[in-house]
Chains A and B, each alone.
Chain A
Amino acid sequence: MKLTVASSPHIRGNFRTNRIMLDVVLALLPALGVGIGMLGIRALWVTLLCIAAAVGAELLYSLLTRTRNTVVDGSAVVTGLLLAMTLPASVPYWLAFVGSVFAIIVVKALCGGLGQNIFNPALAARAFMLLICPVGMVRYMALGVDGVSAATPLHHMVMPALPEESLLDMFLGNCPGSIGEISALALLLGGVYLVVRKVISVRIPAAYLGTVAVLTLVFHKTDAPLQWMLYSLLSGGVMLGAIFMATDYATSPATAKGQLLYGVGCGGLTVIFRYFGLFPEGVTYAILLMNACVWTLDRYTAPKRFGAKEGGAR
């Protein structure tokens, strides 16, 4: 009998990369469902195209570079899906395709692949798409009316004014917007699922949303601070960003304190970009900027090692 001599530990937990990716996909399904239901079947075609393009790019890259086929880890599916969630349903198909390929090849693979990339692939691709075709990225369709573009709640808030939609409509997703961002309820459901499954901790979303809430409450732009705060939380990509984008493992800190600071930074920058930036939305650039700080945050928020506590000795 040939016995294996390998390093301890000899048993492992059942936590696996592809299980995590599957959980993220499952967590996004409610938001995707609302997006398709409210924005029409084109939202589904855009999403499927993004996923197919991302997976295809991943496969092609591994074939061309003769490296291991990494499609099985499921991360390309997640990247394609996440990117689609940030896009308007009316986005040109070619743009969605180019963005997905950019996310996988340029942002992820060329940085060294899974876990090595500095920037969130979906958001970096979105920023790239805004750069090469702004028109395709900011045209949102009115609900239920074909071919008529509409102002999203965020467009009203830039004025500044409270959006036309009621808070309940915005919470449920009855408003124009990107495919995956319109229903806060669906996103929160997905977030709760991820926390329960221990895929993410609540630290980053809580710090992110909490910071946005406090800042918009204090620096409100209309004379209804509480409503302004709630609209700020429910509009645009804050929920999607806080729950699904800022929690991306590769581009967020690994330490607990680092995660809190990172969430606060994302929230603060989101509000600053929304208030002073060129675009109504600031989530993409807020998270991308914080992505660049992750290693520094981890380094300066390392947990105090065992035995280093003051008065640890008798």
Chain B
Amino acid sequence: MKHLFFGGIHPKYNKEMSTGVVQFQTIAPKQVVIPMQQHIGAPCVPLVQVGDTVRKGQKIGDGEGLCVPVHASVSGKVVAIEPRPHVSGRNVLAVVIKNDGKNEAAAPSIPTTDDEILHAIREAGIVGMGGAAFPGNVKALSAMGNVDTLIANACECEPYITADDSLLRTYPERVLSGMMILAKLLKPQRIVLAVEDNKQKAIDRLRDLFEQYPQVEICVLPTRYPQGSEKQLIQAVTGRQVPGGKLPVSVGCAVFNVSTYAAIHRAVVEGVALTERIVTVSGEAIAQPQNFIVPIGTPFHDLIEVAGGLHDRTERVISGGPMMGVAQSDLAVPVIKATNSVLCLLKDKNGAAENPVCLRCGKCVGVCPMRLQPLYMYRFTNAGRLDELRRLHLMDCMECGSCAFTCPGKLPLVEVFRQGKKLLREADAK
């Protein structure tokens, strides 16, 4: 049975821009900048010192609590350990490694028992690679025995991005194998790979492998943003709604991105740590849009250079997609584990109005996948009415931007909602 999630929009996808190049080009940066914080949770503490020689895949940072380690993504010499610009906009402590080009790899280790597999997922530094970057082992552990549905998220509903698509076209067996590894741990009744119907080549490749992985159900969903959002995807696949403030496990579901499954496969079957990922470099402002296999820590400007450089009138460079990504000011920021795209955009001709006005047209209510009322959230945030914001459940907003995309008055809705949430958090902290 098929379900639909609430609301949603149909932006122009522009995915064909970056799917022309079939062969991945692996980037060999001169230097990598590896932030000690690439996940939700506690930052890592460096395990190396300036001057040390490291191998590719060697653990160079780790920590206690909600934390996964980080690894050298190239072999070479540690030249600096200092705060560096980070995609979050803050400076974050990073280990800088000068690439010697030898790619000397650390020795792999292959786990067998459940505990060993969970440990291997942690030791490989695996986080949710769809953007949230939640430690993979912690999510898997909390889902063990508590879920009946295991979902692989291949929706990639943000325009322009084709990283997951190209992963599925090139290495579908890694994803399916990763799914079977987690299925062995979590023991779900249903194993679903959910993909939107605008990725026909990837779907064909997955169906070719059906006989090897008969337990995996390929669920093809009608393309609509934000289908790849965890809660919306669960609704689309199972019809269940994750209650506000709760996790997917509360409705018996666990969702991981396809890139995360591929990383789990590599960690468990090949014994290789998460040191590289597929990144889409695309947008109207880049000369040769394409997907690359990128060592973690590669600065954005290196990637942009390999993709032919920026247009003179580039307005924004975004880490992530055009709907939810973060605009960058400094192109020295490195690719981290959750970076699926470096998007280079010219000025949007539909962009913000000089003086945004709410017409009360109500389009925002119709497109909100969380069934909220953006027009009133906007008005009451501007009025500082926290009681109204609580009644309107502002905190349920996931900032998907569907309302702002649709708004004919071009209101800065998402921006204002972030301010409103901040007001609420500050009030609750008192």
Which residues of A are interface residues toward B (Cβ below 8 A)?
A: 1, 3-17, 19-20, 68, 73, 113-115, 249-250, 252-256, 259, 298, 302-309, 312-314
Shortest beta-carbon contacts, A-B, top 8: A254-B362, A9-B401, A7-B415, A312-B241, A307-B243, A12-B350, A306-B370, A11-B322
- Is A255 touching B405 in the complex (CB atoms < 8 A)? no
Closest beta carbon of chain A to B406's beta carbon, Å: 5
Q: Which residues of A contact B322 (CB under 8 A)?
A: 8-11
Which A residues touch B246, using CB under 8 A? 307, 313
Which residues of the other chain, A, contact B361 by a CB distance below 8 angstroms? Answer: 20, 249, 254
- Please name the residue on chain A nearest to B242 by beta carbon: A307
Interface members, chain B 349-405 (any A CB < 8 Å): 350-355, 357-366, 369-373, 375-376, 392-393, 396, 399, 401, 404-405
Q: Are B362 and A1 in contact (CB under 8 A)?
A: no
Q: Are A1 and B324 in contact (CB under 8 A)?
A: no
CB-CB under 8 A from A1, the residues of chain B are 310, 312, 314
Provide the residues of chain A in CB contact with B133, threshold 8 Å. none
Given known A13-B11, A305-B244, A312-B241, contact A20–B376 (CB-CB < 8 A): no
Pairwise interchain contact A8-B243, C-beta atoms closer than 8 A: no
In the bound complex, residues from chain B placing their C-beta under 8 Å from that of A309 are 241
Q: Which residues of B contact A5 (CB under 8 A)?
A: 89, 316, 327-329
Which chain A residue lies CB-closest to B14? A11
Q: Are B316 and A8 in contact (CB under 8 A)?
A: no
Given contacts A8-B401, A306-B6, A307-B231, contact A16 B408 (CB under 8 A): yes
The residue on B at minimum CB distance from A14 is B350
- Is the Cβ of B359 less than 8 Å from the Cβ of A13? no
Write the nearest CB–CB distance from A12 to chain B, whole angstroms: 4
In the complex, are the beta carbons of B241 and A254 less than 8 A apart? no
A13, A15, A255 pick with most chain B CB within 10 angstroms: A13
Q: Which residue of A lies closest to B331 (CB)?
A: A3
- A298 x B376 contact (CB < 8 A): yes
A19 x B408 contact (CB < 8 A) = yes
Q: B11 touching A308 by the CB < 8 A rule? A: no
Assess whether B306 is interfacial by the CB under 8 Å rule.
no
Given the interface contacts A12-B350, A255-B365, A313-B243, does A3 sit within 8 Å of B358 by beta carbon? no
B167 in the interface, Cβ–Cβ < 8 Å? Answer: no
A17-B359, A255-B362, A306-B241 are known contacts. Are A11 and B370 too (CB-CB below 8 A)? no
Inter-subunit contact B251/A314 (CB<8 Å): yes
Taken together as a complex, chains A and B put the C-alpha atoms of A5 and B329 apart, in Å, by: 6
Q: Are A15 and B408 in contact (CB under 8 A)?
A: yes
Is the Cβ of B326 less than 8 Å from the Cβ of A8? Answer: yes
Contact A17 B414 (CB under 8 A): no
Q: Chain B residues near A68 (CB, 8 Å)?
A: 354-355
The listed residue (B148, B328, B360, B371) touching A305 by CB distance below 8 A is B371
Cβ contact of A10, chosen from B235, B329, B348, B392, cutoff 8 A:
B348
B185 within 8 A of A: no
Asked if B393 and A250 make an inter-chain contact with CB atoms under 8 angstroms apart, the answer reads no
Which residues of B lie under 8 Å from residue A11 when comparing CB positions?
11-12, 159, 322-323, 345, 348, 350, 405
Whether A4 touches B316, Cβ cut-off 8 Å, given contacts A11-B350, A255-B362, A305-B370, is yes
Of B328, B343, B359, B412, which is within 8 A of A115 by CB? B359
- Measured CA separation A8–B312 after assembly (Å): 22
In the bound complex, CA of A73 to CA of B412 (Å): 18
Give, as a whole number of angstroms, the nearest-CB distance from A77 to chain B: 15
Q: Name the residue on A nearest B393 (C-beta).
A: A305
| Chain A residues with CB under 8 A of B370 | 305-306
B140 CB, nearest partner CB in chain A, Å? 19
Quick check: A303 and B371 within 8 Å, CB to CB?
Answer: yes
Cα separation A1 to B310 with both chains bound (whole Å) = 10
A303-B243 in contact (CB<8A): no
Q: How far is the CA of A18 from the CA of B310 in the complex (A)?
A: 33
B84 at the A/B interface (Cβ < 8 Å)?
A: no
> Are B315 and A3 in contact, with the CB atoms below 8 A?
yes
Determine if B359 and A249 form an interchain contact, defined as CB atoms under 8 angstroms apart: yes
Given contacts A8-B414, A307-B244, A312-B240, contact A13 B405 (CB under 8 A): yes
- Report how far A12 CA is from B401 CA in the complex, Å: 9
* Alpha-carbon distance between A12 and B410 when the two chains are bound, in angstroms: 8
- A12 near B360 with CB under 8 A, answer no
A255–B371 Cα distance when bound, in Å, is 10
Taking a contact as CB atoms under 8 Å apart, the answer to whether A306 and B396 are in contact is: yes
In the complex, A252→B360 CA distance in Å? 8
Contact of B414 with A9 in the complex, beta carbons under 8 Å: yes
Shortest distance from the beta carbon of B161 to any chain A beta carbon, whole Å: 13
Other A-B pairs, 9, CB within 8 Å; known A5-B327, A9-B414, A17-B357: A8-B326, A8-B414, A9-B324, A11-B12, A68-B355, A249-B361, A255-B362, A302-B373, A312-B242
Q: A19-B408, A255-B373, A306-B369 are in contact. Are A6 and B327 (CB under 8 A)?
A: yes
Chain A residues within 8 Å of B9, by CB: 13
Closest Cβ of chain A: how far from B378's Cβ, in Å?
A: 11
**With known contacts A13-B405, A306-B244, A308-B243, A7–B348 Cβ distance under 8 A:** no
Q: How far is the CA of A308 from the CA of B396 in the complex (A)?
A: 11
In the docked arrangement, what's the CA distance between A308 and B235, Å?
A: 13
Instruction: Tell me the nearest residue of chain A to B283, going by C-beta.
Output: A10
Considering the chains assembled together, what is the distance between the CA atoms of A309 and B358 in angstroms? 29
Chain A's closest residue to B373 (CB) is A302
Interface residues of B in 264-322 (CB under 8 A from A): 310, 312, 314-318, 322
* CB <8 Å contact, A3 and B348: no
